[in-house]
Amino acid sequence: MTSLDDLPLRDDLRGLRPYGAPQLDVPVRLNTNENSYPVPETVVEAISKALQAELRELNRYPDRDARALRADLADYLGHGLTSAHVWAANGSNEIQQQLLQVFGGPGRSALGFTPAYSMHPLLAVATGTRWIDGRRNADFDLTPQEAAAQVEEHRPDVVFLCSPNNPTGTALDPAVLRAVLDVAPGMVVVDEAYAEFARPGTPSALTLLPDYPRLVVTRTMSKAFGFAGGRLGYLAANPAVVEAVQLVRLPYHLSTLTQAAARAVLAHRDLLLSTVEVIKEQRDRIVRTLRERGHRVADSDANFVLFEVGGDQRVVWQALLDRGVLVRDVGLPGWLRVTAGTPEETDAFLRAMVEIARERT
């Protein structure tokens, strides 16, 4: 049988493993920061109708530039943005890949501040971009001075910041973003996949777009909108950036069905985003309860919580799984990440944690 090693693979891909959070069939799935609430019936009907209306024309290619969808996304974002500032693709991962295809690539570099979203380095490698692991301090924190110094030292073509950060969940201090923007020689991408869950008073990087033409803010409908299976991510930036990504996007990358479904979802945004408040309550409850029980817990502006387990995180991960609760081992020794979902899911997770603690004492 032919194995990977027998194929004439690119040298820089040899030995790599594909991205893969376990997809296990367990009762409580809290490992990929999805929205736990199913799509409401009204929205299911609206999506069905929107798809139905397109079916006869599937002999034609989709709108290559997804104009109507981009106008809807710009309207949702506000901040005076228009469709010219917005670009959409199959998930924000594809958006970030396109950004690296245009602004990274062979002979270029990208820097992120680890621990951050694990796909950023993988996308860099896949696009032949040299990845630079920037540092955070022991509390996963980043000061404006530390961030700017690392950017000045490495002079990367692309800087990735993540706000709220994954896996820590904490929103970026706006002073850090400004410090990076002021010294970055290339593009600065702020991944705001979880922006809708931020605590009150957390500003979005969107507010800085008018001042910084090399700033790009990426967003997704996978989290707050509960549309992870629909695959729709987008960016907001200077219109020149949108023109730039069009140089590398595949023609017709966003299917007619995806565009129609996403538009139907956006039309029901008030209903869909009503789950955000409920999820934030569960997030705050997890943070509070774990802290009361003596765990160190990172501040969270997202729909997940990073907590210290007090021991080997792999053992606790398995013990939770044995109780039907799947959380994420993000590879940080001693820490695990859990998604905030429904009150019942929080109950199951917190109960399992009590049982595990009891067993270990």
Ligand X SMILES: Cc1ncc(COP(=O)(O)O)c(C=O)c1O
Return the range that interacts with ligand X (CB under 6 A); candidates 23-31, 70-78, 88-96, 262-270.
Answer: 88-96
Question: CB burial class (10 A; 0-12, 13-18, 19+) of residue 137?
Answer: exposed
Is 196 among the residues that bind ligand X (CB under 6 A)? no
Is 222 among the residues that bind ligand X (CB under 6 A)? yes
Alpha-carbon 270 to chain mean position:
21
Is 163 among the residues that bind ligand X (CB under 6 A)? no
Cβ distance 304 to 167 under 8 Å? yes
State in angstroms the smallest separation of the CB of 278 from ligand X: 20
State in angstroms the smallest separation of the CB of 280 from ligand X: 17
Q: Residue 184 or residue 262: which is nearer to ligand X going by CB?
A: 262
Is 35 among the residues that bind ligand X (CB under 6 A)? no
Q: Residue 35 or residue 356: which is nearer to ligand X going by CB?
A: 35
Q: Say how far apart CA 260 and CA 145 lie, in whole Å.
A: 45
Q: Quick check: helix, strand or coil at residue 219? A: strand
Is 303 among the residues that bind ligand X (CB under 6 A)? no
Cβ distance 100 to 122 under 8 Å? no
Is 226 among the residues that bind ligand X (CB under 6 A)? no
Q: How far apart are the first and last CA of the chain?
A: 49
Is 166 among the residues that bind ligand X (CB under 6 A)? yes
Is 233 among the residues that bind ligand X (CB under 6 A)? yes
Is 31 among the residues that bind ligand X (CB under 6 A)? no
Q: Residue 301 or residue 345: which is nearer to ligand X going by CB?
A: 301
Size of the site for ligand X (CB under 6 A): 13
State in angstroms the smallest separation of the CB of 33 from ligand X: 5
Q: Say how far apart CA 161 and CA 175 lie, in whole Å.
A: 13
Residue window 109-128: x/- pattern of binding to ligand X, with contact defined by CB under 6 A: --------x-----------
According to DSSP, the β-strands at 233-237 and 304-308 are unpaired
Out of 81, 88, 179, 193, point to the residue binding ligand X (CB under 6 A): 193
Q: Residue 100 or residue 319: which is nearer to ligand X going by CB?
A: 100
Out of 31, 36, 93, 259, point to the residue binding ligand X (CB under 6 A): 93
Please give the C-alpha separations between residue 88 and each of 167, 217, 225, 249, 258, in angstroms, as whole numbers.
24, 12, 15, 10, 11
Between helix 174-183 and helix 144-154 the angle, nearest 10°, is 20
In the 8-state DSSP scheme, what is residue 220? Answer: E
State in angstroms the smallest separation of the CB of 170 from ligand X: 12
- Sign of the torsion angle spanned by Cα atoms 23, 218, 63, 74: positive
Is 339 among the residues that bind ligand X (CB under 6 A)? no
State in angstroms the smallest separation of the CB of 288 from ligand X: 23
What does 153-168 look like in DSSP terms, one character per residue?
HH--SEEEEESS-TTT
What does 88-127 look like in DSSP terms, one character per residue?
EESSHHHHHHHHHHHH-STT-EEEEEESS-THHHHHHHHT
Task: Please name which of 292, 350, 359 lies closest in space to residue 28, comparing C-alpha atoms.
Answer: 350
State in angstroms the smallest separation of the CB of 220 from ligand X: 3
Is 301 among the residues that bind ligand X (CB under 6 A)? no
Out of 31, 36, 92, 170, point to the residue binding ligand X (CB under 6 A): 92
Q: Site residues (CB under 6 A) for ligand X? A: 33, 91-93, 117, 162, 166, 191, 193, 220, 222, 228, 233
